């Protein structure tokens, strides 16, 4: 938390320094792009220069960031000059009269990958060899978005960043469920649920889950990215338990904590268009069974057999590797991004003869980016889970349908170390739940085994992303 507070104070402590143009920086400072934070000296063949009417200059790592600067001030008419680097000569040329290739097989700085040429003939010759479309400054400005791409919070993006991009973040999440759900109709507190049925031996009251972790994203190629998450959980389950001998109801608390299963996901971009505003990607993933699965069994008189003692929600891990596959789609309309997901997860039976139900996951995100620093949006996701199985017998009060809606915020608050620092947060709640339950005929009358729903969830992360200079770029240019 101390480090977090220090990071938040840095932008305010360095406002005056940020106002100094790069050319006036001290010799021992390494200039970085004001828009994206990347080191400018790694992208000299694609650099841009914005010259303001007072004569001050701003340098950027590439054309895309320079265009965003131009757009921010209201167009080239508000500037003294706008210059970009000619890919062939390395000389500065007029950015308004230049010709650009977009969508080639080279991504020298970032996406969209605009590469500038002084003449259309040179641009067409480059496109003939490396692919892409030749466009004018006006077309580039019309296509430009304030932010290169967006990343959803609870679902996946189909956008795979350029090769070498590294993203990492410490994360914290909180989940609370505090309503007993019987199907989609009955929803009440555990206290009312047990008191309304004298034969009810127990009822869940609430579950609280604190999740901390570290995530890592890395782009192996321009189309293949890998994701890793190392999670840690702390879970607390409160139940109302009736003592039939005395007629009293007491609170029973269970607690579990530890490192969870580690998911590893690969995204491969099958197709994207030249303007980098439509992406179609496949996702394949697995999880390492690093989380603890409580395999203690007790004899249950209602079931007439031994069953796993721990409630399904209190296990830290599934006790076996899991597998998932899905399709991802992302599309941009200027300042808006949309992301769509459809994913199926297989949860095999573990060595203790227990299997968590397979899940079908879907989601949609709509993000708005008024400028490069800010993202606001809304996201909705839904999951259908099959029932768990214990020794091949369905656990009737597991599985069902849950759908959630979340409001999200992403704030780029600092450029440092050649990359971006962003504060990411979300808060949401379930909007529809239809959860499986189990009506039981007990010795004192009928009662119901049910699940918890309702409540809310929240997430917070500080992410850092950086792209070292793309390997082999100078050799490609020289060739």
Q: Give the CATH number, domain containing residue 311.
A: 2.40.160.40
* CA gap 129, 131 in Å, rounded: 6
Q: Would 156 be classed as within a structural domain?
A: no
Please check whether residues 196 and 337 belong to one and the same domain.
Answer: yes
Average pLDDT (209-220) is 97
Strands 451-453 and 48-52: unpaired
Whole-structure pTM value: 0.90
Kindly tell me if the per-residue pLDDT of 8 is higher than 50: no
> Over 50: is that where the pLDDT of 405 sits?
yes
Same domain, 171 and 67: no
Residue 227 domain-assigned (yes or no): yes
Domain co-membership, 227 together with 171: yes
Distance CA 33, CA 267 (A): 28
Residues 114 and 175 in one domain: no
Question: What's the confidence (pLDDT) of residue 12?
Answer: 39
Boundary (domain end) residue, out of 144, 176, 203: 144
Of the candidates 373, 427, 431, the one whose C-alpha atom is nearest the C-alpha of residue 404 is 431
76 and 182 belong to one structural domain = no
Looking at residue 471, its pLDDT comes to: 54
Query: Model confidence over 250-283: pLDDT tens digits?
Result: 999 999 999 999 999 999 999 999 999 999 999 9
Quick check: is 152 in a domain? no
For residue 274, the model assigns a pLDDT of 93
Sheet containing 451-453: give its strands across.
186-188, 179-182, 451-453
Q: Are residues 451 and 336 in the same domain?
A: yes
Q: Which positions ≥6 away from 263 have C-beta within 8 Å? A: 227, 228, 229, 285, 286, 287, 288
Residue with tokens 């076996």: 320
Same domain, 116 and 202: no
**Distance from C-alpha of 14 to C-alpha of 11, rounded to nearest angstrom:** 5
- Per the domain annotation, does 208 fall within a domain? yes
pLDDT on residue 473: 53
Q: Quick one: 388 and 289 in the same domain?
A: yes
105/113 Cα distance (integer angstroms): 9
DSSP notation for 114-167:
-EEESSHHHHHHHHHHH--EEEEHHHHHHH--SSS----SSS--SPPPPTT-EE
Q: 250 and 393: one domain?
A: yes
- What is d(CA 438, CA 182) in angstroms, rounded to the nearest whole number? 9
- pLDDT above 50 (res 430): yes
The answer, yes or no, to whether residue 27 has pLDDT greater than 50, is: no
In a domain, 472, yes or no: no
Is 473 within the bounds of a domain? no
Number of domains into which the chain is organized: 2
Q: For the chain, what is the mean pLDDT? A: 91
Range of the domain at 297: 166-466
Task: With cut-offs at 50, 70 and 90, classify the pLDDT of residue 201.
Answer: very high
Q: Which pLDDT score is estimated for 44?
A: 85
Q: How open is the CA angle 32-35-40, to the nearest 5 degrees? A: 30
Q: What is the pLDDT of residues 70-102, one digit of tens each?
A: 999 999 999 999 999 999 999 999 999 999 999
Q: Is residue 471 part of a domain?
A: no
């Amino acid at each position: 938390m101390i480090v977090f507070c220090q990071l938040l104070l840095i932008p305010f402590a360095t406002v005056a320094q940020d106002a100094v143009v790069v050319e006036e920086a001290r010799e021992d400072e390494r200039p970085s792009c004001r828009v994206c934070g990347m080191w400018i000296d790694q992208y000299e063949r694609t650099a841009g220069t914005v010259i303001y009417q007072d004569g001050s200059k701003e340098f950027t790592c590439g054309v895309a960031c320079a265009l965003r600067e131009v757009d921010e001030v209201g167009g080239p008419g508000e500037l003294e000059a706008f210059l970009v680097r000619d890919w062939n000569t390395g000389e500065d040329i007029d950015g308004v009269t230049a010709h650009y290739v977009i969508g080639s097989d080279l991504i020298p700085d970032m996406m969209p990958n605009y590469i500038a040429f002084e003449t259309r003939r040179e641009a067409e010759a480059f496109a003939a060899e490396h692919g892409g479309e030749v466009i004018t400054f006006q077309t580039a400005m019309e296509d430009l978005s304030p932010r290169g791409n967006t990343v959803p919070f609870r679902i996946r993006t189909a956008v795979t960043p350029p090769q070498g991009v590294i993203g990492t973040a410490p994360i914290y999440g909180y989940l609370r469920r505090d309503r007993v759900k019987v199907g989609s109709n009955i929803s009440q507190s555990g206290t009312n649920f047990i008191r309304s049925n004298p034969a009810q031996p127990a009822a869940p009251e609430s579950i609280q889950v604190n999740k901390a972790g570290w995530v890592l994203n890395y782009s192996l190629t321009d189309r293949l990215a890998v994701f890793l998450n190392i999670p840690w959980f702390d879970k607390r389950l409160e139940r109302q338990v009736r003592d039939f001998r005395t007629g009293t109801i007491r609170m029973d608390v269970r607690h579990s904590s530890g490192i969870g299963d580690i998911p590893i996901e690969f995204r491969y971009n099958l197709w994207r268009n030249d303007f980098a505003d439509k992406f179609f990607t496949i996702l394949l993933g697995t999880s390492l069974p690093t989380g603890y699965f409580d395999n203690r069994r007790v004899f249950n008189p209602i079931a007439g057999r031994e069953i796993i003692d721990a409630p399904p929600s209190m296990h830290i891990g599934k006790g076996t590797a899991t597998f998932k596959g899905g399709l991802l789609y992302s599309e941009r309309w200027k300042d808006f991004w949309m992301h769509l997901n459809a994913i199926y997860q297989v949860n095999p039976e573990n060595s203790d003869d227990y299997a968590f139900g397979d899940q079908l996951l879907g989601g949609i995100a709509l993000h708005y980016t008024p400028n490069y620093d800010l993202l606001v949006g809304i996201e909705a996701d839904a999951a259908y889970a099959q029932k768990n199985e214990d020794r091949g017998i369905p656990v009737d009060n597991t599985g069902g349908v849950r759908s959630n809606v979340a409001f999200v915020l992403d704030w780029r608050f600092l450029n440092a170390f050649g990359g971006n620092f962003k504060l990411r947060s979300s808060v949401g709640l379930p909007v529809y739940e239809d959860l499986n339950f189990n009506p039981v005929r007990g010795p004192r009358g009928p009662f119901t085994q049910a699940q918890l729903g309702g409540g809310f969830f929240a997430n917070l992360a500080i992410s850092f992303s950086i792209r070292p200079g793309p390997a082999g770029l100078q050799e490609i240019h020289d060739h």
